[in-house]
Structure formats: C-alpha cells, structure tokens
C-alpha cells in the first residue's frame, strides 16, 4: 500500500516542482534534495495510513487523497486546484457557456470566500451580490474550513432548489439571503445602439455602440465580430466596451477581442517559470471598429481576461479606460488532465500588457477614474415661493391626478432606458465617446499654418528624391 501511494504522489512531483517558484518574493524557495523529497513523501504516506487506521469513524480514503492533492496545489496560489472527474466536467460545461448554480465567480481569500463578480442575469446578480463581497456561511455552515472547490460544490445543485448564503459587504452588517439555483446560460456578448439619457426620442441624437461582455468563453470573439458588424451598419459614432464585473475566461478569447479593435501592435505577453517561456501575441491588420473612438469601462469586478483587453487597448492608445481600479489577477491557468477523467487547474504563467506592466495584485488603473455614483438633482422644479405655497390656495385637479399617476409609476419596474440613465459610469463613458468624436473632427478642421505647409512640402520633396533615386 505504501509503495503504491508513493508512486501516485511521485506522478504529481513534476507539477509541484513546476509551481514552486510561486512563493512570495520575501520568502525564497529552499529546494529539497531527491532524498529529502522521498522522506517527506514517506511521511505523507504515514500520515495517511495512521489517520485512516485511527480515526474514530470509517475513513473515506478517496476524500482524504483528493483533499491532500487539492491542498498541495492550493498551497501554490489561490487559483490552482485539483479537479475531480465531476469538477473537470463542470469546468468544461461552464467554458462552453452553460452550467448549473447561482451564477457567481468566487476566489479564496485568506481562508474566506470572496466574490470576484456575479454573472449578468443570474440569481446571484438579481440578489444584489457584488464584487468584493465575502460569503461567510453556506446553509448556516461556515466556509472557513472549506476548500474553494468544496464551497463551490455547496452552492451548486439541482435547478429549482434553494441555498442560503450569509454575505458581508464592505461597511455593512452581514445579511442572509436565500437564492434559488438555476441553469446558468451565459450570453457572453450583448450589444445595442444607445443614446444619451434624455435624448432617446431625438432622431438626430448621436448613436453610440454599446457592447457588454460578461465573460470570455469559447464563442465570445465570434459573437463580438457579429456585434461590431451590425453596429457599424447602424452608423454609430463610437463604442463603449463594458467589461465591468467580468471575471475573465479564456486567454485566447481576450486576445481575439482586443485584436478586433486593433490594426497592429502587441496585445499581451505571457511569461512562464523559465526565461525562455515567453510568448507574445500581436494584432492582425483590420480594425473592425474602423478607427472610431472606444471607451472601455472597468471596475473592481473586472479580472484576468478583462484586464488583458483593457490593458492592450490602453497601452496601444486605441481606447480610453474609464471606471475604477480593476481586480488585479495577472496570472494564466491551464487544465492538465491526469488521464483518468480528473485534472489539475494550475497557474502556468504571468501575463504582461504591451508596455510590460504586470497587473498582478495591482490591476488596471483607468485613464479617468469615474466611481459609480447617484445623480442628485440640486435644482427644484417648483419654487418654494409660488401660488401653490400660499395657505388655502385653490387646488389644481389635473395636478392632483398627475401626482397620483406619478405615485403609481414609482411602483413600476424601471425600463432599460431608465436603468441606463441611472448608470453614472455608462453616461460618463458615452459623454467621453461624443467628446472624442468632436475632438477628432476639430483636429481635421484645424487650418494649415505656414509651418505645417512647409513641413508637408519638405516631406513631399524627400519622397520625390527617393523616387528619382529608384
């Protein structure tokens, strides 16, 4: 039994050695000799056998071994883990855009479960769970003794069944909410033409292409290309690319999304453990947005692939990034199957923006910080001093009817246009697109100066000399 267990663990040794350099900078790794590693593996096998034989109840060997492998990987970083056959299948289903659960992306944070972001139009999003929230209890059981995979499993279940979560938001008291599980179908890309609040009925108002990417899956790039094609047919003046609360996804999808807006330049580089493990990705010719102004909206829930796109467009000067500081996940994970339906999910590289920035633990800093805010009306529609302010003044019957109708309207659900008007970051982003268009038009209309004419003639003369030399 001991020999077989040692062989099993030895098969995982290359993976452990590969991830060893993930230790903190202030804690240099002290590598063990082969003999020391063998002694530690013997000790691990001894712990397993002693625990199994002496535990007060019947021990579940499979559960113990899977927990050991998972703990081994999670000691490297929060994003590495062991995937059982069921976990591996669920991961692949999720990547294809359909899975069961609450619609929430989580990570491990010092033993607690932290929300990266809720997914659009899911039970978690509708319940008001936000990026940065902490989940402390699942069905009244604390999560602090659970692995990330165990916490995820507890939140998943048969569609229609309920689960109770205790959630803590910054600056607020803990709250307990009950959510109903559902089949989560992720629509990766949503798009429409929008107008500024108050101009929805103005046929001459500028139309802005709004593209919302909720995650980066296998079909995201294809969906984005169709969205850009249709919006270009609508003659939009520019684009708002909204990746707020987008937790990331496939690296290849992020590269393809950035490429859609770029005509050239580096998109991202990934760098592994060894100096030679460097891969650079460049944009192919062809800007599907035809050079129109682009504003990228990010917030603290924008992570990983979202940050790759924002960083690529920012560093190449193709887009202005607005919103708030992003999440700061600058690492790349890969699934490595173990041959029996299981796999490990392990961090294999860090990624860097075109200017060489690593956003790990830092995030993308927006060019213009715009925190989500509520618009407060400072000017009253009615003056404090008017006929209506006098005591015993005659009432207006029509006004009373309007007040009643307004009270009834307050109970109605907000329309999409009303929701847009309340989205402060979105309104400022559309403002910026309009401003960028006007600045572009203004630059084209600047009259020529004697200096610019002389410079132009000089350039033409140089070009003519080159032609004659040929």
Helix (H) and strand (E) counts in the chain: 14, 19
Catalytic site residue from 315, 324, 326, 420: 315
How far is the C-alpha of 13 from the C-alpha of 437, rounded, in Å? 56
Task: Quote the CA–CA distance of 307 and 304 in Å, as a whole number.
Answer: 5
- CA 70 remoteness from chain centre: 25
- In the set 304, 306, 324, 326, the catalytic residue is 304
How many other C-beta atoms are found inside a 10 Å radius of the C-beta of residue 179? 21
Tokens describing residue 423: 């989205």
Q: What are the residues whose beta carbons fall under 8 Å from the beta carbon of 445, sequence distance 6 or more? A: none
Q: What per-residue string of b and e applies to 64-76 under the rule 16 or more CB within 10 Å gives b?
A: eebeebbebbbeb
Annotated active-site residue 133? The verdict is: no
DSSP result, 417-458: HHHHHH-HHHHHHHHHHHHHHHHHHHHHHPPP-HHHHHHHHH
Question: Which single residue is written with the structure tokens 């089949």?
Answer: 183
Question: Catalytic annotation on 411?
Answer: no
Measured in whole angstroms, the distance separating CA 231 from the mean position of its chain's CA atoms is: 23
Residues 6+ apart with CB under 8 A from 142: 136
* Nearest C-alpha neighbor of 108 from the set 157, 74, 153: 74
Max Cα–Cα distance, the chain, nearest Å:
98
Q: How far apart are CA 209 and CA 232, in angstroms?
A: 8
List all residues 6 or more positions away from 64 whose beta carbon is below 8 Å from its beta carbon. 48, 51, 52
Task: Tell me if 2 sits within 8 A of 45, measured CB to CB.
Answer: yes
Q: Whole-angstrom Cα distance, residue 328 to residue 22?
A: 16
Write out the H or E segment, with its range, that includes residue 241. strand 239-242
Give the pairing type, strands 175-180 and 162-168: antiparallel
Angle (CA) 200-257-369 rounded to 5° is 60
Quick check: is 410 catalytic? no
Query: How far apart (Å, rounded) are the C-alpha atoms in residues 431 and 205?
Result: 12
Indicate which residues carry an active-site annotation. 304, 315, 329
């Amino acid at each position: 039994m001991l020999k077989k267990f040692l062989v099993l663990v030895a098969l995982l040794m290359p993976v452990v050695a590969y991830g060893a350099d993930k230790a903190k900078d202030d804690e240099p790794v002290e590598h063990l000799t082969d003999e020391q590693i063998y002694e530690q593996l013997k000790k691990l096998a001894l712990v397993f056998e002693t625990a199994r034989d002496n535990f007060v109840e019947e021990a579940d060997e499979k559960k113990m071994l899977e927990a050991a492998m998972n703990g081994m990987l999670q000691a490297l970083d929060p994003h590495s883990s062991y995937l059982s056959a069921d976990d591996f299948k669920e991961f692949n289903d999720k990547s294809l855009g359909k899975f069961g659960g609450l619609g929430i992306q989580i990570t491990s944070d010092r033993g607690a479960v932290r929300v990266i972001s809720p997914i659009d139009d899911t039970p978690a999003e509708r319940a008001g769970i936000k990026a940065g929230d902490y989940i402390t209890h699942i069905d009244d059981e604390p999560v602090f003794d659970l692995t990330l995979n165990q916490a995820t499993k507890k939140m998943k279940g048969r569609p229609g069944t309920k689960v109770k979560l205790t959630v803590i938001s910054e600056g607020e008291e803990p709250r307990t909410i009950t959510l109903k599980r559902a089949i989560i179908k992720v629509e990766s890309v949503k798009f429409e033409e929008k107008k500024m609040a108050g101009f929805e009925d103005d046929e001459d108002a500028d139309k802005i292409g709004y593209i919302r990417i909720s995650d980066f899956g296998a079909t995201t790039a294809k969906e984005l290309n169709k969205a850009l094609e249709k919006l270009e047919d609508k003659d939009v003046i520019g684009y708002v690319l909204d990746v707020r609360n987008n937790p990331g996804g496939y690296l290849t999808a992020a590269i393809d999304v950035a490429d859609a807006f770029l005509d050239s330049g580096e998109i991202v580089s990934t760098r592994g453990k060894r100096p030679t493990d460097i891969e650079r990705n460049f944009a192919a010719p062809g800007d599907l947005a035809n050079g129109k102004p682009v504003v990228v909206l990010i917030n603290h829930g924008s992570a990983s692939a979202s940050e790759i796109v924002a960083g690529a467009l920012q560093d190449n000067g193709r887009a202005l990034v607005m919103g708030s500081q992003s999440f700061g996940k600058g690492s790349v994970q890969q699934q490595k199957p173990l041959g029996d339906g299981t796999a490990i999910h392990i961090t294999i590289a860090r990624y860097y923006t075109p200017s060489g920035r690593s956003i790990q633990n830092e995030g993308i800093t927006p060019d213009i910080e715009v925190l989500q805010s509520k618009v407060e009306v400072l000017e009253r529609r009615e003056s404090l001093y008017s006929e209506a302010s006098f005591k015993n003044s005659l009432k207006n019957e029509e006004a009373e009817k309007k007040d009643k109708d307004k009270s009834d309207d307050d109970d109605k659900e907000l329309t999409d246009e009303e929701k847009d008007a309340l989205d402060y970051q979105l309104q400022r982003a559309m403002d910026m697109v309009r401003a960028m268009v006007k600045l572009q038009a203004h630059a084209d209309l600047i009259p020529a100066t004697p200096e610019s004419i002389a410079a132009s003639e000089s350039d033409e003369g140089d070009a003519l000399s080159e032609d004659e030399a040929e």
